Every structure is written in C-alpha cells, then in structure tokens.
Structure 1
C-alpha cells in the first residue's frame, strides 16, 4: 500500500505518469474489445485498477514497454509492444498452429457495445466460442461482417511506443493459440487482486477516494466511449485530448464528489444529452436540495418564471435575476453548463433547472431587479434538488380536457393517450393541443400516431445501431430500424398543435419526428433537445454510472438530428411581459390559431 499513500500525499501528476497512463489506456481498450484471447480476465475493471497503479510508478519508456508486455503478454500472448524506433513486424506464423485441424477462427463482433443493462439492444460476442454447459454451441453471429485471420492493428499507443494487436485467433475447445503460460496468467490474477485498494482494517475499499480507482474509471469509460460512442464528429475535443485532461484531473481529485465532477467534465466535451453521470454512494450533496424559485430565459435575460413559496415576499414574476452566489448570472450558468453534456438548448434548459441546487439546509445568495427595485436575499434550499423538469411544469397548470368548444388539450408528460380517450374525446374534436414540453408519461403517447394518418407512414426518423469490429469507431456498419406505422380507425381529422421545447428529449423527439410535416400538424415552441436513440450505461468501480447514446439517429431525409433537434413550424420564445402576466404563451398561441382555423 506504499504507492497508495504516496499518491495521496502528492496528488499532482507528472508528464511521465500521464504518458504511462495514456499508453496503458490505449492498449487496454484495443485488447479488451478487439483481441479475442481466451486468457482475458473475467473482470477487466480489476486489470484497469492494477495497470493504473503500475503506470504511476514506471519511470521511463524502457520500463513502460517492459511493464506493458508483462501485463498484456499474460492475458494476450500474441500482442506485441515495442519502441517505434525498433519496429517489429507481425508474423502470421506465430499465431497459426502447425496443424489447424479442429481449430476455428475467433474474433469479436459488437452491435453497439454489450454492457449489462441493455443486453437486449446492444451485444458483444466472440464468434466460434462455445457457451453453456449442455450443447456448447457457438453463439450466432450478430451480423455478416467479421475480421479475418491475419488482420491486425498496428498503431502508436503514445508517440514513440507502438503495438500490434491481432483481431482474430485460432481456437480449439475454447482455448486460443498461442497460449500464455498458465502459471504466469494465474500469478497476474493474484497480483491484480492484491493491488485493489483497502481501508485501514484491510477490507476492500473501492471508492473514488483512491487514485487508482479514479484512474481505472477514466480508462474504462473512455475506452467504451472511444470505441462505441457514435457522435465523435460532434465532440468539442479529440478523444485523446479528453483522456489527457481526465487523467490529469483525476489524480488531483480529493474525494468521490470531486471525481464525479471530473467524469462530468470529460463527458461534457462529447455533447450528448443522454450523458447522465451519477454517483450512487455516497449520495451527491451538491444537488440534493434547491430553492423554491423557477427560472427561465426570456429576451436574453434570466427571469423568475414561477414562485413556489409565498414566503419569498417582494419577488415578482418576470423579475430579472442579476446574480447567483455573487456571480453574474450568465457566467454562473455557463460555469454550470461546463459539467453538462448535450446541445446548447439542452444545457441551458438543464442549467436553469439546476441553477439553485446545493446541499440541503443551505441558502443561495441571489440578486434580482424588478418593479420593487434591486435586492439581494438568501433563497433557502428547502425543496428536493432537481436534475430535470418538463417545460410544461414551468407554466400555469392546465388540466386535460376541453379548453374551448371543440378544442381539446392533453399534456403528454402527465396524461395517458388511451384508446378510450381517442375514440370518446379526440375523434370528435376539431382541434387538439398536445403539450410535449417534456418527456412522455408512457409509451401510450404513440397510440395516437396511427389515428393521424390514413395510409401507412414510413419512419420519419431512423435509428442505426453500430456494427463494430475495428477500434476507434472506424469502418463501422449499421443495423437499421425499418419499421413503419400503420393507419388505424378512427381517423382523426382535427387540426393538431404540438407544443415543445428543449426539455423534450429522446422518446419525445421520436413522436415529434413522426408528426412533423403531416398536413394537419403544427409544432409550436422552441427546438427540442437533439438527443435521441436508446442509451447504454457504463457501471464503474466506486459506484459511478455514465449513460450515453449508443446509436445514431437521423431524419428520414438523411439530415442531422443530433444536437439540432426537431425544429418547430412556429418558433415562439417567452416574453418578459407574458411571464409577468402569468401567461402560457405557446398554449395561448395554439388556442388562437385553432380558433381561427376552426371557423
């Protein structure tokens, strides 16, 4: 444990350590996901911890190459690591048995990336490896494309150090060729187990308080995203730069919550609204409570949209927020958005929701200007902290039902679209307002689609699951969703108005994409989040989780959806006067247009 304590005492990383860790990280992912050796550890996370610890005490490139070979030759004996200045060649003879009778060829296929939570959508398999104990049949291929025996990766893992990683190996009875020395592999497994951090009583302590856990988590998460995240073209920084920054910061972090913010900074650069980064234990304190004010942006200013506590005397709707925590409001929001991933509209929506979050039993200094002059007060954090709020919750409450004769309103974030509702209410309406400023309550929202069309409707948004056999998300194929919506009776002839904003994400955008462009539909509001497609979830040592979008979403015409979102037919942003008067301006506009078109 000497290394652990020395790291705690001197938490500043050196360029040497960063170089070592980057080399290990790069090789780690290429071997784990693209090299099919049978000696691979059952728990790669333990290897990440072990390797991270080793890298921190390696003092030069000669030692680094030796250490990497020592680790990986025991789990991937055909992998070569060498100085770029003394190049090595791939020798096919070294991976081919003298007699290949009875051997099959093993390689990886990834449909997305097979992580535990969404195994029904995303899968990873080794071709021609038997599974189970009864019939021991090989798993079926996920798609037709596969790497061939003799294909390999040759690349620099850092400048001056290269590797060769075969993509396919010969295998017999579940054992790949060439084989590592069994005793050497067993010894590595013991070393890995012994390297896990322990507390003062000798019990395992896998928390973000340990530098090796933090570094392992960065390496694990970065590799999963490097090889399976489909939107690297929209990232703010190259993957290698993101890795370098995350490694450097994770070493200097002091506690689990510091490291939580490091993971959030890392993910923010990837611009994915599905990238929710959480710590399940210990519970995060910085977002556990919030004050009883709702804020929004109007006419380039941040204003009070809703007051949830009558004790806040002197605060009026539409008052301008000048500062929070003694920081200019715009700078304050931008400082929070540094930790959020997604489109600009999603990050602003989310930062406004979270603007007053903080530890419970604390207060947020806030300065406002309005008709009562300028004042500064402490907003008590007396409500449960928020990470998300439907846009419709910011507005005056409107109950589902008839707003005017022949105009029906339903909030899809709060109310279900049942078959009974369609037949008994919506069918007789001349105008229907669907409020989708938020996330649908349930999948019944899609019940309405077949009744808005009188002939089969092809998908207006397509999902593409990556078919991955090579590192770095290169030469990727895709499995495409080709389903369509069939028409059902009764056909609803009403004019349809859909309200939306940046809080509409994922399933909301699937609905919006399907109805946009239909002749009887008008979408009103601001662009949606620009984040769609099923998520995948990374579980990390220390009880951290990272969600991310695992597939590409495109509009039917091939145009981009990611970050852009669904663009309303009528763009309507809130006004300060409307907020002061307690108006739901998008809803009021929909009612106005509906009345005019129903005459």
Structure 2
C-alpha cells in the first residue's frame, strides 16, 4: 500500500511538473486541475489544451484549436505583476500553426496600468496564417513607469490550430526570470493562514435573535472591510478576523452585551486619524451610500457614533480588497477562493453570504433596481446558508442569492460544478425556443441528426420526462439569474432539454397531433451549438429591392469600409444584432448614420473613496462623419441582444433615420466585474451603469423596439424570418 501511494505521489509530481523558474513561461509545469500549464489562463472563446506530442522542447506546449471560420479569437495567457524597472520589454517565443484561415496567429504582449492599457501588440498586422513549422517570433514594447501588469499570450483568430512554447520575457535585454523584483512591503493580511482549511465556527441553533445579530454583524463586517483604514491597508485578513469574532459573538445574551463586544472588536484595530481628504457625498450623486441600517438594530449611541466616525474618516484610494481597472470598473481584490472548503463549515458559508451582500451593497451600480429591498436580503439568507447541508445546497443558495440582483451578467457557470452536473452534459440535437409562449423546435445544430431526432422544426414540446414544461420552469426559475423575464426564459430554454442521461422522453405536438419520442442526446462538443448558422459567407449582402443587410455576429473591422462603399446608394440598411457582435462597431460603423456629433449614452461609476456612491460621467459621443448615409436604417434586436449588443443598438438608435425592430432585449448593459465566493464559485456583475443621455434606464428594461415584431410558430414552420420581413417592409414603405 505504501509503495502504491508513493508511486501515485511521484506520478502526480511528474504530471504537475518540476521547474525552479519563477514564471512558467516554457509551459513545463502542468496543472491537472485546470488541464493547462500552471498559471496560464483562457482569453477568448476557443478551446485550450496542453500538448505532449507537438512541442518545441521539453514535455509540454500550449495549444489553441478552432474549427470555426468566424471573427472571434482564442488566447492562452499569462499574467505577471509589473514589479520591475526598465525602458523596454520584449517577448520571444516559438509558434507552430496548421491551417490557420480567415484570421491570424501570433504572440501577444500587453502592458496595463491602473486604469488603462499602456501598450499592446498581438502581431495581427503581420498576418501570419496558413501552415508553418516552429518558428521564433518577437514582440517588443516600451515599459512605462505606470505599468502594473504584464500579459504575455499566444493568440489565434479564425480557424485552425496553433501551438506555443518556450516563451522568454526580457526587460532591457535581461531575462525576467533572473531579475529582482522591486521590493514591496509584505502586507500582514497575506501572512495570516490560521483558518485556511477550517473556520472553527459552530453556531448554536438559530433563532430570531441570533439571526438578527448575525445580520448586524454582516453589515458591520462589510462596512469595516471597505471603510476602515487599517483593513484598507491590508493589515488584517478580514475573513479570518470574522472567524475569530464569531464564536464569542454568537453566544451574546443581550443587546448591551452584543454592542459591547462589537465596540471592543472595532477598537481592537486601533485609533483612526482624521481624514483630511475625505469628501462628503456629492449632492448630484446618482446613487448615495446607504448606512441607514445603523438605526435599525437598537444599537447604543456609542456604537453608532463609532461607525459614523469611521465613515467620516474612511480609507481613501485603492485598498487591499477593492480597486478599479483600466475601464474604471470596480475590481475586487485579494478575495481568497477557498477551493478546499468543507461544505459543513458554517463559518465559510456565512462568509460567502457576507462577502457577496456587501459587494452588492457598496459596488453594484444597479442595486436600486433589484426587485427586493437589498437591505432585507442578508437576513433572509442567513438560515439558508448556515443550514445548507452539502455542496449542492450551498451552490443553490449562492445561485438564488445571485439571482436576487436581477442581472443577466450574473453568470453561474464556473465553479458551480454540482449544479452543472445535475443539469447534465448531454444536449438535444436541435435548438428549442419559446415562441408564442410555447417551447418550439426552431433549428437543428447538426442537420444530419434530424432523422434520429424524429421531431420537426415548428413542433411544440409539452412534456419532458412526463413533466409539463411550465411545471419545470416554475421549479427552476429561481436559479437562473436574469435582468428580465425574456432573458430568464431564454436561458432556461437552453437547459430544459439537458440531461445527465443520454436520452429523454418528450411529449410534443406535430401538425396538431400529440406524439411521444425517446430523444437521443449528445455531448456539447459533438454539436455545433454556437455557430451552427455560420456558412462562411460575408457578414453583409445585398437583398432584393436594393436593401443592404449586415449581421454583426461575424463582422470584422476590415468589413466596414466595404460595407459603406457597397451600400452607399441603397434605399435602406438592416443591421442584425440578434446576436453578440464579433467586433466593436458603435463608433466605426455608427458614425455612418449620424450627421453631427451625437451623444448616445452616459455612464455611472463607483467611487472607491466613498463606497456606495455612483456618479454620472461624460457619455460616449459618435463624431460627425465625412459622409452620412441617406437611406433608412433598421436595427433588429431580440432577447439574444445583450450587453455589447444593447450598447451597440443604443449607438445606432442615435442615427438620423433609425428604427429599432424586434422585441425587448436582455437588459444587461455595462462592462462586467468578476468576483469569487468561497468554494471557487465565480460570478459577475454589471460593473458600470449605462443610460441614455436623458438618464433613461437600459438595465432590466432592455432596448425597447420602436416596432415590435416576433417570430410565430407558423413562421418558424415555414422557415421565415418574420422580424427581417418587418424590417424590409418598413424600408419599402416610404
């Protein structure tokens, strides 16, 4: 037995790799848990892997592969703190490519500051494509003093395969592996590991008093996390300070004892100097900080005054737990993922709730738009989190909490493995959507599977495994975060026919006849689920009656001059954004439809110096073009139009002669911010607020069409695009 264990450990060590290098730029340290080389991560859409056969040297190389001829990309990337001085930085590396078409492959080097990209090169201008054996390539950039992060990567767009190996990064000619980093103070918070594997927290039986006290503690804990100067400086591991506090606090017998414990706890972290830079909340602030909860718990005057004093003299600037990125999005920092937490550990489960509630309380730009009063949510979920019995119940509690912010950006796909496993890895061979409130088969991912499916386009599915479709929707709806109902139903439709088994029973209606069928399912990689519509044709074409048509799903920036030239004399242009644009076009293409400088959006940004304050800043403006399109513009939207799609529709709406046609969009606009919860659960929120220039909301509301047009079951059966037909009708009716 001992020999077997030793062999397993040796095998794991060999698999994980052995290298003494500071950075794993040669891909030689392999991490089997992520199935990539250690510390490498994914950018873009394409699958990544580690190759052990095709290598330049050593045992491993990084690989990108895609069979899709569309205008997106995949990248295998590595992040290095810019803790070095120098004038120039150079990335060298080896790359091999095979059948790279409709795109390019290259090395990528990017230098980021606090709030902006300082320098960038991905070799796109070298147009490297086709098939090439291992060759050495070089990217060189200036290294400015404001650099905070260095990204190195291999990148590929279009279709084909690309391998990367033996990256070397040098600063002023010296290998970064040998350079000494700029010495930075070691923050005390990073040295505290007492509770890494166990919070050592056990709660007595929950009652109303204890739940109320835990609600108060959660609000004070989060307030101190983002306001107390000593915590902002990184002098305390605030997660573990909670665990130290909880046992004594949970046993309090009276309000006065509770308040005394809280006062002693706060005073433990030292005196706070008068803040000369702290500013009062701007009178014109769109959202103002809310600490009204201090008056709701019957706290002593002394404790209330202590909290008010801390607020008045709060931490300023980027803190240990909070900052901003180059796009002024809120960035959550130094949040331990606790991958190995035990799901019977009440301390970690309560920490997850406290962490998320306070992130939303202080840094979510749309907190005022949630269905529930956010101040009441914390107390509601305390029993749900503490009493969750296993990983599944914990994940479901987290998803339900996340759903309560009513934000379609709030993804729950990464880390929620138990829920995803129950939903299943097998998918139907066709797409089903809700048309006229019925679950309707609308298209096949793989046409060759139509015969085995035994179901026709336009058929209505009524029961799944003997359960009515509506009954299933009602039971799972709380676990699908969404800004509005159209986005929720869209996402539910994608999962209704998923299963952990290889087939499901369907009851359906075909040509007014009730039928049943055991439907075979397939793993997602065997289905063309994402790009099944792509035919390799250009993203634009001329329709009958001299009308131009553009789909943004596959548009490239190189297409835009051709579009303007081809369509300049048409009587109308239809832009289809019932998809996610592959290229950012609000300014490059949007300028074609305005006759003067035109503001089409404005934004709210969080203030890390005053958590909870959001202010409007100057909106985006489309500049006056050299030539304005003279015909009609019709923009197509529906529930698949989300985020960048909605922002792009706002830009086009500002055109001189624009009509939005379709149905309400997903209602999730604004750059996203990512956050982790204990257990390695990754989710996101809309990180900035997006509004029309007159302050009209887009979040949750979506883009409201000027002319409503939706598919019908009859139209689906006939293979018609009724929304496109309505657009053509509008252009033809002068």
TM-score band by shorter chain is 0.7 to 0.9
Gaps of 5+ in 2: 1-194, 316-335
Q: Count how many residue pairs are aligned between Structure 1 and Structure 2.
A: 500
Aligned 8 A contact 1:427 1:492 in 2: yes
Aligned 8 A contact 2:600 2:654 in 1: no
Distance 2:399 2:254 in 1: 31
* Structure ranking higher on relative contact order (CA contacts 8 Å, 6+ apart): 1
1:275 to 410, 417, 433: 410
Aligned 8 A contact 2:259 2:299 in 1: no
Structure 2 partner of 1:124? none
Question: Pairwise mapping of residues 48-447 of structure 1 onto structure 2 (< 5 A)?
Answer: 48-51=242-245, 61=255, 64-65=258-259, 67-75=261-269, 77=270, 105=276, 107=278, 155-156=294-295, 158-159=297-298, 163=304, 164-165=306-307, 166=309, 167-169=311-313, 205-206=340-341, 208=343, 210-280=345-415, 282=417, 284-287=420-423, 289=425, 290-308=427-445, 309-339=449-479, 340-359=481-500, 361-371=501-511, 373-384=513-524, 400=539, 401-404=541-544, 406-418=546-558, 419-444=560-585, 446-447=587-588
Query: Partner of 1:443: helix, strand, or coil?
Result: coil
Structure 2 partner of 1:491? 628
Quote the offset at 1:417 in angstroms: 4.5
Structure 2 partner of 1:45? 239
Aligned 8 A contact 1:22 1:158 in 2: no
Quote the offset at 1:239 in angstroms: 1.8
Distance 2:683 2:435 in 1: 32
Structure 2 partner of 1:570? 707
Quote the offset at 1:578 in angstroms: 0.5
2:223 to 30, 34, 46: 30
Quote the offset at 1:525 in angstroms: 0.7
Quote the offset at 1:277 in angstroms: 3.1
Distance 2:475 2:314 in 1: 52
Query: Partner of 2:659: helix, strand, or coil?
Result: strand
Q: Does 2:681 correspond to 1:544?
A: yes
Distance 2:515 2:678 in 1: 46
Distance 1:27 1:319 in 2: 55
Distance 2:224 2:718 in 1: 61
Compute the TM-score of the two structures, normalised by the length of structure 2.
0.60
Deviations 1:202-245 (A, max 9, x none): xx933555332221011011011012223233212122332123
Q: Does 2:720 correspond to 1:583?
A: yes
Quote the offset at 1:435 in angstroms: 1.0
Distance 1:502 1:596 in 2: 26
Aligned 8 A contact 1:534 1:549 in 2: yes
Distance 2:205 2:456 in 1: 48
Distance 2:266 2:488 in 1: 41
Quote the offset at 1:346 in angstroms: 1.6
Quote the offset at 1:168 in angstroms: 4.1
Quote the offset at 1:160 in angstroms: 5.2
- Relative to structure 1, the CA distance from residue 213 to residue 585 in structure 2 (aligned partners, 3 Å threshold; closer, same or farther) is same
1:464 to 604, 623, 631: 604
Aligned 8 A contact 1:434 1:498 in 2: yes
Query: Partner of 1:528: helix, strand, or coil?
Result: coil
Gaps of 5+ in 1: 79-94, 97-102, 112-142, 172-195, 199-203
Aligned 8 A contact 2:200 2:243 in 1: no
Distance 1:277 1:302 in 2: 23
Query: Partner of 1:491: helix, strand, or coil?
Result: coil
Distance 1:293 1:403 in 2: 28
Distance 2:594 2:722 in 1: 29
Distance 2:544 2:723 in 1: 16
